[in-house]
Amino acid sequence: QVQLVESGGGLVQAGGSLRLSCAGSGLTFRRNNMGWFRQAPGKEREFVAAISRSGGSSYYEDSVKGRFTISRDGAKNTVYLQMNSLKPEDTAVYYCAADLGVGVSPKRDEYEYWGQGTQVTVSS
């Protein structure tokens, strides 16, 4: 019923940029806070960024502040993650997720719906 589908991952050189997209269906898009998480091999899935229902508030993990920007387009039922100044340590599978809670959250367990992930690889 609920689907979140990520796209836009790939291989990029350090210092380059990528824009990830997550298209949602089967849910009331504007009702959900949305988040991006990432998981590198052998590591826990970690929070990257989140955005409120209206798009008016956002929250970022410290290591990506100033480099990544989360945004959303209600008309397209899509959330984006613009990633600039990419570093090799950004290499991971990136997942989008939908949160039905009151506000944006960095907590993985508070997100109910998840996409399949898209691989981002940053070469040195």
Among residues 104, 92, 101, the alpha carbon closest in space to that of 46 is found at 92
**Eight-class DSSP state of 32:** -
Q: What is the pLDDT of residue 90?
A: 98
The pLDDT value recorded for residue 123 is 97
And the tokens for 98? 């939908």
pLDDT digit string, tens, across residues 21-58: 999 988 777 788 999 999 999 999 999 999 998 888 99
* C-alpha R_g of the chain: 13
